[in-house]
Structure 1
Amino acid sequence: MGHDVRAPGRAAVHAASGSRLGASHPRQEGPTDLRLVPPALAAWATAALMLDASPEWAVGAAVVGLVAAGVLLLVRRGAGGGTSDREGTGAIPATPATRATWATPASRTTRVTRATPAAPTIRVTHGTQSRGQRPAPPRTTWPRISVAAVLLCVAAAAVSAGLHGADLRRGPVPRLAREYASVTAEVEVTSDPRLTRPRVKGDHMAPTSVLINADVRRVEEAHGTAVVTRAPVLMIIDAGWGSGISRAVDERPNAPGNAQAPPRSADGRTSPWLGLLPSTRLRVTATLAPSLTDGDRVAAVLRVRDPGVPEVVGEPSAAQRLAGRLRAGLREATDGLPADARALLPGLVVGDTSRITPELDEAFKETDLAHTLAVSGSNLTIILALLIGPPGRAQLAERRGLAPRLGFSLRTTALLGGGLTLAFVIVCRPDPSVLRAAACGAVVLLALATGRRRSLIPALATAVLLLVLYDPWLARSYGFLLSVLATGALLTLAPRWSAALRRRRVPPRWAEALAAAAAAQALCAPVVAVLSARVSLVAVPCNLLAEFALAPATVLGFAALAAAPLAMPLAKMLAWGAGWPAGWIADVARTGAALPGAGVDWPGSWAGAALLALATVVVLLAGRRLLRHPWWCGVCGVLLLLVVVQPSPLTRVVTGWPPPGWRFAMCDVGQGDATVLAAGEGTGVVVDAGPDPTSVDRCLRALGITRIPLVVLTHFHADHVAGLPGVLRGRAVGAIETTGHEEPVDQVEFVRREAADRHIPVTRAAAGEERRTGALSWQVVWPPAQSSPTAMAPDGPNDASVTLLVRSAGLRFLLLGDLEPPAQRALLRSPAGALLGGVDVLKVAHHGSAYQDPELIRRAAPRLALISCGADNPYGHPAPSTVAALRAQGAVVLRTDEDGALAVAGTGAQLRVAGD
């Protein structure tokens, strides 16, 4: 006779706790329910494809999907009754387990009974089927329903994507953009304004612009025709830094569209356009142009040439004004914090990255911590966890958190959580990215709080499906893809890996944190590689170290945000408390990015992503085997540490770079100049900084340079000075020497600002100046002092380049900067011209351009000519004629675009050169 066997221990725990889940046992679940995953993926793929499709294709896909789904649902396959294929019986080996009850996807109960003592099997019955009843043969109802659901989702996604795609093609805006027409338009702001990042373009820095996403609601053509429309555009406004704009902002701190004074950029400058709030209506006169990239949710680019105060014709909504005041209050509360914390805290709390400097932003990208700077589900998860308590106790009688301590019921707690979620969406802007973060964050929180990770896969699939149908453009968003992958990793891989680590005696909290970071990295790394063409080797440890500071920074930051409108002193105190963990996160990012082996270059394509995914699988399989051998784990850990840290002595032995006794090095910084003169152990004089801080910083770290007595900037073109922050990063610098020709002005200001921030004196070089440090000595041979009779009016910054004649260990180096033929001929006629004959090494002027004076090449007659230029640069540097002229004089010509970084070693007649 069958009988029920109960487990009195567990039942007692359930009864004592007052909860059907119990105080210490997780919910028992059936197999993972994956039925909603195919419909979500199908809708995702359909939306991505149909955004560019013609209306005929979108309608055709929708009709085919609906018809096919209708056929599957209406036409019965086979005859006879019976239960669905989800019902039936099964036998599993008997265990000491007793009767257990759990929720199934259909909310039915399952009873487990023992058949007979002689036949130790457990018979599982579902639904209303009686014990011992012979099951009916299964039928294929559910597979047909699943396929029909996929087809219906495909049809819905095709309709939604077709309508959203049509928004970009209808109305007058696309036509006017193709004509590059000048228009007067009324636009509604749909995003926070943001500044473009500094970017070197040739020898100058691309102008800073303000970018704003907006909808054109009304457009007037030049002949006066006005049309009401709705077309998404990208507005580009020249920043136009200037005193006039600053005064306008100061005089109108509470003008329509501005909650308070607009946020300042990372270097302290501001524009009235940066203070605009979403939902503000503007009237602008601008030029329409086609979008530069296909597949964007932009019908046209609206370029506004007048950077003055915008003409506001409609105030933002009340919700946006409230959000603007809160965000402005948080910025004010953080004003007194150290630079990194002041920049980072608003980004951690509400995604306000207006103060993030380019180098800090680059550090976060190098360490895969950039997700902390964007509005993400983790922000909402942390706040809701504070309300309901730690993971796994949300539905227990012993639950923790603020809500139970205040006596709130679970229903009231749920309502409060919904209110917090709504406030989060309002403060962080209700655009699709925030809605995505709220949905995915709620899914993660629900998974952690209920302990039902398996049953939350359908919830994640539902969130993906609804968001893609609501906004099909998310189907093409890398951010959306990364969010879904990270959330899926937390729900699937992380629990298993955490359990495996705990079985190997890793403390539970460390096991959960390590498993979460590793799982997210494993699934997201291939996509990140597509975006950055680089794989971070320090992402997991950096995320682990940052994770423990993220919660206190976020909680205190949100507290400061809420307190700012009511009591600014309290908000400043809370922001001060949040500044410590925020500063720690910034230090983690900077330290991780500064490690020589922080990352490796990787193909930035989907083929490269597939290769990385395969490599990840191989590493994981090998790791499972290694975990059985602690000694081998230790050896692999030490090897990885050496690869990342790359201690100088070991690196020199393995790579041979830099060569022993090197005297001069030319860094590979792309289309620009950055060279180093050795001046002792760990010491070097740097001549020019190149266009990119990261590249020159890596070069100096590889050379082991920690002390720089002098930085010489030959002239102020961006391809020679824009990398200065990388030179100054973490190094003791004595002084900066520049040319006296202070153009272009923006780069002169940039250099002086960087020097002033670090209290480094700036001096001017002039011909005749001689200096020495250790065995290194050099003489400035150009430009002449302004009062000198040989002085010439320079024809631009190139002709004013500081030119050095250097002596080191019996070798003579001539560094010409970017001198062009007029200045080169004047140099030969100057008193220093007689000293230029027969140099050992020539740093060829102006990246080897065709503009060289033949007489200077003959006079110098170098044994070795080095050219710094970027691969595939648009200027054709170096010119074949210049290379031929140098070789005709007997010089060996090497170039960084083909040979990489170059280092010269030797003494006197023994001249050696090595490439990285």
Structure 2
Amino acid sequence: MTAMRSRTDTTDPGRTHTGHVAPTDLTDLTDPAATARLTVHAASGKRLGASHPRQEGPADLRLVPPALAAWATAAVMLHTPPGLVTGTVIAALLLAGVLLTSRNRRAEPGSEGLGSEGLGCEGLGGAQVRSRVSGAAVLLCIAAAAGSAGLHGADLRRGPVPELAREYASVTAEVELTADPRLTRPRAGGSRMAPTAVLIEADVRKVERARDGATVVTRAPVLMIVDARSARSGTGDDGQERARGREGESPWLRLLPSTRLRVEARLAPAAAGGDRFAAVLRVRGGDGPKTVEEPSAPQRLAGRLRAGLRAATDGLPADARALLPGLVVGDTSRVTPELDEAFRETDLTHTLAVSGANFTILLALLLGPPGLAQYAERRGLASRLGLPLRTTALLGGALSLAFVVVCRPDPSVLRAAACGSVALLALATGRRRSLIPALATAALLLVLHDPWLARSYGFLLSVLATGALLTLAPRWSAGLRRRGVPPRLAEALAAAGAAQAVCAPVVVVLSARVSLVAVPCNLLAEFALAPATVLGFLALGTALPALPVAKALAWCASWPAEWIAWIARTGAALPGAGVDWPGGWAGAALLGALTLVLLPVGRRLLRHPWWCGACALLLVLLVVQPPPLTRAVTGWPPPGWRMVMCDVGQGDAMVLAAGEDTGVVVDAGPDPAPVDRCLRSLGITRVPLVVLTHFHADHVAGLPGVLRGRSVGGIATTGLEEPADQARFVRRLAADRDLPVTRAVAGERRRTGGLSWEVVWPPPNTGHAAGAWPAPEPEGPNDASVAMLVRTAGLRLLLLGDMEPPAQRALARSPAAGRLADVDVLKVAHHGSAYQDPGLVSRLAPRLALISAGRDNSYGHPAPSTVAALRDAGAAVLRTDRDGAIAVLGGEDGGGELRVARH
């Protein structure tokens, strides 16, 4: 066994203590790293050499070109025709053979001895030989990657599944799950929320066609989609929420990888491009999954451990209950869309995707700090237990395997485990660790094993972040320490800055947004990540034998987890948390070029503390955006605004000024983030009332954004609670915040501050069998919209919701019709659709017509005929898809003066 060195031993094994080279080290004369170490010792001027020399030598980058070549080849060859794949493999092998054969012929003449001539020949040709060997290695990796990608791509084309998918055939299939089931996030799709579905990755092993009953044994990767109605499996009307794991759990979500099921489904083609599925399997029927074969023993154990961790966190506050399973094993089923959005806005999503950070923490517990791994004083748990180094490496390998099984083989988990395993192998063989070759080897092996990782953004971000930590971060940390920054702070700043600089261009491709708070948020979260992870893993390990102990550990871990959630929410709530950026690879290239320009500038600024302080202050002002400063610079919000139509895309959201920091909100748009940004830009912290004109998703789905961090008095809605699922969504949010929900009916009058309004629609009998005001029953939710006549600063504003011609004509005949003539501002119904009543437009004769519509929406809103009719009636027409957010300003004396500002 290789002897362990003490930190006080200043020489390498095999060297004498005089600083001279031992006879057994003659071959090291050709080793650049050995030469570098010898130079360091000799330059010290001491008989025994330097007291603690830096012995790493130059970075070993020999494995980087083969890894990059294999990565690029795999990404290109996955959907390449078989003939081209075969040609690429043959050509790469032939070229590699030529290079290696040429090297052998050149090496033969000088192989007889080690005389001066042989050494001279080796010196002259050594660089050329090494370049040929390197070129051959790259070509061999290209051949291997092309072959692997070709075989994986062939899986998508062979067998009966792709053909049946093109026919949209109904089948009975036997499938084996390859990943954990996951639930789609709720999102607004026009007037309705997109249906929630359970997504399951699986391999089809047998398929039986419904038309002829023929059964074929095959193996094809598919994506199973189980809609919310099937996922409920008899859980009642609240099944969608139960499927999301809040009040219960769908049986589909409890399935484990390696389980075999028998399902009746319809096949459909997978999306074109880079999808790794031969087809989509749409499962029908709500009877729950029919298990053919139970999962494997390791997966059952992993499932029990994950379930035990969830049970240990059940009694924790909401954020900790959601985050701890994500931090420990990547289980994000309890993370709400709001919290997920906050983590995305602050670039903290890597904490929820189990990555190298988690594995590094575990290895540090076992081995001790990385810099001491081969020393007697390494201080790890294994050292304290007296375990030898190689036994420790084997134990680390077992830990790596358990880590992958429990946390599931996601790209970041595989990369972390593979890199750690290579490093452990270096320990077990007694060789010094080199993390850059370990990372390159991990990427190479993983891409060869699963070429689809070459197209995974998660895998790309994981490798880039790790590479930045290994290459840029040490240099930046050393530079900061030279300028007086404390070592721990310098390391943290360098790590966060390097990872952000390298990963930001890829993040832009996905989100078209650059976070300005990512670095400080990651720095603050870093202090809590290690204790939360360690305590979470301890809770995971003790949940099965001693659940009370696991609950106590989870309670201790909840404090750092809550801290991380608070950082994410606070950072995301800042007005300048991020800036929009061009998406796609063009935007990534632009950001990368800008980063390369700014890095030297930042390096020079570090020499001038005053300039650094000024830049930091400017960044703080840009992120915090104090309202007085923002108003002075941008003119938004304009002083004296009375109403703002927010730009929320294809939906409605308006704010009526009701005093300082106070506003009545009418509708919330289709997404929480835009309406939240709009309210923050206006400085609204108090909302006496939220009026939801009707329950279509493009008006109510953004309600969590209105409630976020604000004092809200109550919610007023229409009486027709359709669609029912959106109405339940609103009532559930109101119940969570203890907000009263009232019904708005015609004739109701309210006032707050200088703002007053009258509800003019719907009549009291809407949604009921009988009432005091005879009116036609609404044909749908649009005709049941709440319409309001608002008075503020001498102006009259009419807000029509999404009323359609039948309701518009009834409104023109209502008791309130006489008060609607010649309004100042009209909020045009239904996003300016062509479905309008011209008689009502003529009666209203507005001075200003406002239309809320999304850019390039698929509905064609607003309709050209509607815009033309409004202009013919003498109205100026403004629309959010072209003008952005629109503010209506009243005169200072309340005399009816009308002004407009656009943001």
Q: Is TM-score (shorter-chain normalized) higher than 0.5?
A: yes
2:684 alignment partner in structure 1: 705
1:403 aligns with 2:382: yes
* Aligned pair partner of 1:589 in 568, 572, 575: 568
**Structure-2 residue corresponding to 1:196:** 184
Give unmatched runs, 5+ long, in structure 2. 1-5, 18-36, 38-48, 766-770
The 8 Å contact of residues 262 and 292 in structure 2, kept in 1 or not, is answered as yes
2: CA distance, partners of 1:603 / 1:629: 33
CA contact (8 A) 1:518 1:540 kept: yes
1:392 touches 1:450 (CA, 8 Å); kept in 2? no
1:909 positional shift? 3.6
Equivalent in the alignment of 2:44: none
Distance in 2 between the 1:648 and 1:330 partners?
Answer: 44
Q: Summarize the Cα distance change of 1:24–1:724 in structure 2 as closer, same or farther, 3 Å threshold.
A: farther
1:563 aligns with 2:575: no
1:763 aligns with 742
Shift of 1:30: 2.1
Whether contact under 8 Å (2:205, 2:218) holds in the other structure is yes
CA distance in 2 between counterparts of 1:23 and 1:442 reads 32
Three-state SS of the structure 2 residue aligned to 1:492 is helix
Give deviations 1:686-730, integer Å, cap 9, x for gaps: 000000100000000001100000000000000000000000000
User: Structure 1 residues 243, 731: CA separation in 2 closer, same or farther (over 3 Å shift)?
Assistant: same
How far did 1:879 drift?
Answer: 0.8
2:582 aligned residue: 603
Q: Give the C-alpha shift of residue 67 in structure 1.
A: 0.8
Partner of 2:34: none
The equivalent of 2:336 in structure 1 is: 357
Is contact 1:47-1:160 (8 Å) kept?
yes
The answer as to whether partners of 1:237 and 1:307 remain within 8 angstroms in 2 is: no
* CA 441–303 in structure 1, closer or farther in 2 if over 3 Å, else same: same
Are the equivalent residues in 2 in contact too, given 1:392–1:448 (CA < 8 A)?
Answer: no
8 Å Cα contact 1:869/1:896 also seen in 2? yes
Contact 2:232–2:250 at 8 Å: present in 1 too? no
Residues 644 and 19 of structure 1, relative CA distance in 2, 3 Å threshold: farther
1:235-274 matches, cutoff 5 A: 235-240=224-229, 245-246=234-235, 265=244, 267-268=246-247, 270-274=249-253
Residue equivalent to 2:842: 858
Q: Does 1:912 align with 2:902?
A: no
Letter in 1 for 2:165: A
Structure 1 CA distance, aligned partners of 2:639 and 2:425?
A: 59
1:292 matched to 2:271: yes
Q: For residue 369 of structure 2, what is the aligned residue in structure 1?
A: 390
Equivalent residue of 1:551, what SS?
A: helix
1:225 aligns with 2:204: no
- CA 1:451 to 1:911, structure 2 compared with 1: closer, same or farther past 3 Å? farther
SS in 1 for 2:809: helix
Please report how far the alpha carbon of residue 129 of structure 1 lies from its aligned counterpart in structure 2 after TM superposition: 9.1
The structure 2 residue matched to 1:163, chosen from 151, 154, 173, is: 151
Q: How has the CA–CA distance of structure 1 residues 448 and 593 changed in structure 2, closer, same or farther, with 3 Å as cutoff?
A: farther
Q: Which amino acid aligns with 1:914?
A: A
Equivalent residue runs for 1:132-531 within 5 Å: 137-139=123-125, 140-222=128-210, 223-240=212-229, 245-246=234-235, 265=244, 267-268=246-247, 270-430=249-409, 434-440=413-419, 455-531=434-510
Distance 1:276 1:66 in 2: 44
- Structure 2 counterpart of 1:96: none
**Percent of matched pairs sharing the same residue:** 74
Match of 1:892 in 2: 876
1:734 equivalent among 698, 713, 722: 713
Call closer, same or farther: CA 1:76–1:742 in 2, change over 3 Å: closer
Q: What is the rounded CA distance, in whole Å, between the counterparts of 1:83 and 1:556 in structure 2?
A: 61
- Structure 1 residue 36: Cα displacement: 1.2
CA distance in 1, matches of 2:437, 2:10: 30
| Conservation of the 8 A alpha-carbon contact between 1:537 and 1:644 | yes
Closer/same/farther in 2, CA of residues 249 and 308 from structure 1, 3 Å limit: farther
Match of 2:823 among 828, 839, 853: 839
Partner of residue 855, structure 2: 871
Q: Which residue of 2 aligns with 1:75?
A: 102
Aligned AA (1:867): I
Secondary structure of the 2:816 match is helix
Report the aligned-residue RMSD: 2.9
Change (3 A) 1:10 1:719: closer
Q: Does 1:48 align with 2:114?
A: no
Per-residue deviation, 1:757 = 0.8
Contact 2:804 2:835 in 1 (8 A): yes
User: 2:309–2:543: 8 Å Cα contact kept in structure 1?
Assistant: yes
Question: In the alignment, does 2:89 pair up with 1:57?
Answer: no
2:33 equivalent in structure 1: none
Contact 2:419 2:441 in 1 (8 A): no
Question: Residues of 1 paired with 2:603 and 2:563: CA distance?
Answer: 33
Query: Does the 8 A contact of 1:245 with 1:272 survive in 2?
Result: no
- Superposed, which structure 2 residues align to 1:450-849 within 5 Å? 455-786=434-765, 787-849=771-833
Contact 2:393 2:428 (C-alpha < 8 Å) held by counterparts: no
Q: CA deviation at 1:404?
A: 1.8
10 and 584 in structure 1: CA distance in 2 versus 1, 3 angstrom threshold: closer
Structure 1 residue 44: deviation in Å?
0.8
Offset at residue 441 of structure 1 (A): 5.1
Deviations 1:744-799 (A, max 9, x none): 00001100111111111111111111111110001111111121233331111111
CA distance in 2, matches of 1:711, 1:340: 26
Distance 1:448-1:828 versus aligned 2 partners, 3 A rule: farther
Q: Residues of 2 paired with 1:792 and 1:746: CA distance?
A: 25
CA distance in 2, matches of 1:808, 1:451: 80
The alpha-carbon deviation at position 422 of structure 1 amounts to 1.4
Contact in 1 for aligned 2:390/2:427 (Cα 8 Å): no
Per the alignment, in what secondary structure is the counterpart of residue 229 of structure 2? Answer: coil
The verdict on how the C-alpha distance between 1:669 and 1:10 changes in structure 2, with shifts beyond 3 A counting, is closer
AA in 2 matched with 1:151? L
State the 1:267 CA deviation: 4.5
Structure 1: how far apart are the matches of 2:410 and 2:605? 46
Q: Give the C-alpha shift of residue 508 in structure 1.
A: 1.0
* 1:4-19 alignment, distance < 5 Å: none
Query: Cα offset for 1:49?
Result: 0.9
Q: Give the Cα separation in 2 of the matches to 1:687 and 1:248.
A: 28
C-alpha spacing 1:752/1:247, structure 2 compared with 1 (3 Å): closer
Q: Retained in 2: the 8 A contact 1:280–1:317?
A: yes
The reply to whether residue 30 of structure 1 matches residue 57 of structure 2 is yes
Q: CA 1:402/1:855 → structure 2, altered by over 3 Å: closer, same or farther?
A: same
Structure 1 residue 537: Cα displacement = 0.8
How far has the Cα of 1:450 moved from its partner? 14
Partner secondary structure for residue 246 of structure 1: coil
Tell me the equivalent position of 1:124.
Answer: none
Higher helix share: 2
The Cα of 1:408 is off from its aligned counterpart by 2.0
Cα distance in 2 for partners of 1:599, 1:221 equals: 51
Structure 2: distance between partners of 1:332 and 1:822 = 54
- State the alpha-carbon separation in 1 of the partners of residues 51 and 763 from structure 2: 82
Mark the CA change 1:416 to 1:137 in structure 2 (over 3 Å): closer, same or farther.
closer
**Residue identity matched to 2:223:** L
Aligned to 2:887: 903
